[in-house]
Amino acid sequence: MNDNLHQLRCFGCGARIDGAEAQPDFRCALCGDLFEVEYPGWGQRRGNDRPNPGALKWLWRERRCSSEALDQSGVWRFRELLPILQNFGNVVTLREGNTPLYHLPRTAKALGIDQIFAKHQGMNPTGSFKDTGMTAAMSVARERGFQWVACASTGNTSAAMAAYAARAGLRSLVLIPEGKIAWGKLSQAMDYGAVTCQLPVDYDGCLRLLTEIVKKAPIYLLNSVNPYRLEGQKTPAFEIAEAFDWNVPDHVIVPGGNLGNSSALGKGFRELHELGLIARMPRISVIQAEGANPLVRSFAASQGATLEPVEAHTRATAIRIGNPASWRKATRAIQDTGGWCLDVTEAEIAVAKAELGAEGLGCEPASAVTLAGLKKLHARGVVAPGETVVLVLTGHTLKDADYTIDFHRGTLLKEEETVGMEAKIDSLRRNAVAVEAAPAAVLATLKGRA
């Protein structure tokens, strides 16, 4: 399993190239589609030459007790399944991954589904799931000798990239849509020393521009079109499988923006299945915001065969993306596993986020689409009471504190957005109250709040 032998396979036309031959924009020279990493050696192994699932599972768990940096990373402890480097000495790690899986008892009770869990990827070093992908792709950038790295971002990718670049001693360039990213994320990119350009275009425009820039200068592109990003982002699938003792949950529910994450988790579960480490795949469902739902429309119009970009609008700025790069890969993840793709409203996102908050699990708005989506799947009767569900929470609540405060103050949503949900919203709002500095006055605020 240890041979560092990988190649890139075009997702569209199937062309295979050496990793070092990829064009700067990671698009296939023949058909323009994206690549994915494959490991030809795995398929060729037969009989005793196949990896021993029991030995691998033991080794990966054992590494959690090690003091080696590589073993302490929740990505690189699975390194047998991501042999993308010539030399693991090039790994750039902040000890990402190994994130908690929390049971959600109140949500479970409310929905009548016992086993609902949140895999909280916001508990990564820079506060989002992007760290698992960034450690992988940044390590490749370092191994290939790049001095500069770059990404377009709705905020989290830039925060992760800037941190990992700083750790690696590389310079980083960030392109963000002006006024459309949360302050918490922008502050991170600044603090980690990125050159941050705010552009008067949306995320899709930023990515388009960056694609031209990397063709003109030796800058390594670190958006999720870079297939090595997805190699790191597949490892939460391994952690989820491990947490359930390799009997995977029935459903894994993921937010959809540029659709790299759902693609990566699909790849992770598929590889575990092909290698005989798990007996079946979970259903992977992707949830988008109603105003940024190109994949939902694609499923409605053509069963995921074609995708029309949309102009995206949602307060969940992380997923404000109208032209998702990895839509074909995500479509495969959904269709291979028998999952669903649906969208949720702004009010449903806000309510779900507050409900997760009430379980003691903050997250950013984009993450809350998972719970809002689960409620819809449950209402459609496609999640049975006895099934196990994992919601992938992608970002930390402090990334976008403004959103949370606006919700609790009652200034987040417009009246027309909340029709029929007013009582629910009122029951969840916890605005701060101004009180006289006297015990009786403070105690009086507790009345009626048992």
Show the site string, 202-231: x = touches ligand F0G by CB under 6 A, - = not: ----------------------x-------
**Is residue 184 close enough to count as binding ligand F0G by CB under 6 A?**
no
| Per-residue contact flags (x/-) with ligand F0G for residues 375 to 394, judged by CB under 6 A | -------------------x
Task: Kindly give, in sequence order, each residue whose CB lies less than 8 Å from that of residue 241, ignoring residues fewer than 6 positions away.
Answer: 248, 269, 272, 277, 278
Q: How far is the CB of 318 from ligand F0G (least distance, A)?
A: 3
Other C-beta atoms lying within 10 Å of the C-beta of residue 16? 12
| 3-state helix, strand and coil shares in percent for the chain, rounded to the nearest 5 | 45, 15, 40
Residue closest to 26 by CA, chosen among 235, 386, 325: 325
Site membership for ligand F0G, residue 364 (CB under 6 A): yes
Question: What single letter denotes the amino acid at residue 380?
Answer: R
Q: Residue 199 CB, nearest distance to ligand F0G (Å)? A: 13
Q: Which of 72, 99, 126, 128 binds ligand F0G (CB under 6 A)?
A: 128
Instruction: Tell the smallest beta-carbon distance from residue 122 to ligand F0G (Å).
Output: 8
Q: Are 80 and 58 in contact (CB under 8 A)?
A: no
Tokens 């996102």 locate to: 349
Pairing of strands 16-17, 7-10: antiparallel
289-318 residues in contact with ligand F0G (CB under 6 A) are 318
User: Is the Cβ of residue 185 or residue 283 nearer to ligand F0G in the bound state?
Assistant: 185
The closest of 66, 64, 125 to 92, measured between CA atoms, is: 125
Q: How far is the CB of 411 from ligand F0G (least distance, A)?
A: 22
Pick one of 255, 294, 322, 339: the residue that binds ligand F0G (CB under 6 A).
255
Query: Does residue 135 interact with ligand F0G by CB under 6 A?
Result: no
**Interface with ligand F0G (CB under 6 A), residue from 125, 291, 339, 395:** 395
CA distance linking residue 298 with residue 428, whole number of Å = 34
Beta strands 7-10 and 35-38 are: antiparallel
Does position 404 interact with ligand F0G (CB under 6 A)? The reply is no
Query: Is residue 153 a contact point for ligand F0G (CB under 6 A)?
Result: yes
Burial (CB count within 10 angstroms: exposed 0-12, middle 13-18, buried 19+), residue 447:
exposed
Name the site residues for ligand F0G (rule: CB under 6 A): 128, 130, 153-157, 224, 255-261, 318-319, 364, 366-367, 394-395
